[in-house]
Amino acid sequence: MTNTAFPWHSTQWSLVRKQFANDRRPHSMLLTGPADLGKREFAIKLAAFLLCSHPSEQEQCHNCAQCHLLQAGTHPDYRYVDPEDSKLIKIEQIRDLNGWLVQTSQQGGEKVVVIYPAEKMNNQSANALLKSLEEPTPNTLFVLVSDQPSRLLPTIRSRCQSFQFTPPDVATAVSWLEQNAEIHLDLHLALSLAGGSPLKVKRDINDDFLNRRAEVVTMLDSLVAHKIPALAAAAGLQKQDTREVIQIVLSLINDATKICLGSDVQDIINQDHLEVVRRLAEPGESFLFGACDQLLTTVREIESSANPNSQLLIESILIKLSV
């Protein structure tokens, strides 16, 4: 284990450490960047570092009373706020947090709050939090973590110092994966499919994503080659997660669009399915733009509906693509 949660955090870690060492610490931080880069782990690591009584230059000691309380999940000066069992961070959670914030630190040191995913606060919750961000109690640090900071209230964003996380370079990602995952696949392809995130590759390996993807690609290929009708293809994908199927199809459509627009083959993400991508590209870019629109609309429908009719949504996408 390196002294940061992940090796690609070292720049952000040094930056934060320097600010704290020079007493230029922010009251509120916002960690942003694509999903699956370990921003939440970074926030938790920072909390542990600040709460520890005897941290080394780089990390918590793991041995003091503070570290033990934190490991046991019972540190009275640390709060982790997430959506719990609902989709949102509720106003009651923030009110409860605000009540805790005004109390003095029980261990006599820092108080740290981690909020993840911060964009899951609705307007009410965000406004309730804003009051605490505007009048911070001394020695309190807020660490908000968000994959989609544009969904946060601008007033919240403007109160926080922003720390941006980006995917690591391929060499760092590959080296980390070789040490931390059971590898039996083309890592460059897997990284490309995962938007450069080694943590997503690891999860994809563990939860069999590549096999599910292979099923979707096979089905889509048969469909565009007119070997099976749309309804049969949809039935074949019935057991899969609709949102994931859409993301896989969208990735192929994006690649097909690149082909239509004359991009280099090395810019194609789905390198292992170039034939399928080329077949999808045959109807031309305006067809693909339309398909892409429909897919994005469907994603929004799924996100906004409590109980979307997934089968129907997949069928209408596949009917469109089979023309």
Joined together, the tokens standing for residue 188 give 């460059």
Closest to Zn ion by CB, 53 or 137: 53
Task: Tell me the window of 67-75, 233-241, 271-279, 298-306 that interacts with Zn ion (CB under 5 A).
Answer: 67-75
Give the CA count within 13 Å in the CB-facing half-sphere of 128.
17
Joined together, the tokens standing for residue 208 give 């069999």
61 touches Zn ion (CB under 5 A) = yes
Closest to Zn ion by CB, 34 or 109: 109
319 touches Zn ion (CB under 5 A) = no
Per DSSP, the chain holds a count of helices (H) and strands (E) of 15, 5
- Give the CA-trace dihedral at 23, 29, 35, 39, to 10 degrees: 40
230 touches Zn ion (CB under 5 A) = no
- Give the CA-trace dihedral at 277, 283, 286, 289, to 10 degrees: -40
Residues 162-221, interacting with Zn ion (CB under 5 A): none
250 touches Zn ion (CB under 5 A) = no
237/247 Cα distance (integer angstroms) = 13
50 touches Zn ion (CB under 5 A) = no
67 touches Zn ion (CB under 5 A) = yes
Closest to Zn ion by CB, 8 or 49: 49
Q: Is-contact 260 291, C-beta < 8 A?
A: no
Nearest approach, Cβ of residue 71 and Zn ion (Å): 10
> Given candidates 35, 64, 170, 260, which one binds Zn ion under the rule CB under 5 A?
64
> Given candidates 30, 50, 52, 173, which one binds Zn ion under the rule CB under 5 A?
52
Nearest approach, Cβ of residue 82 and Zn ion (Å): 24
Q: Is-contact 75 108, C-beta < 8 A?
A: no
Nearest approach, Cβ of residue 70 and Zn ion (Å): 8
305/317 Cα distance (integer angstroms) = 18
Neighbours of 200 (CB within 10 A): 20
Contacting positions for Zn ion (CB under 5 A): 52, 60-61, 64, 67
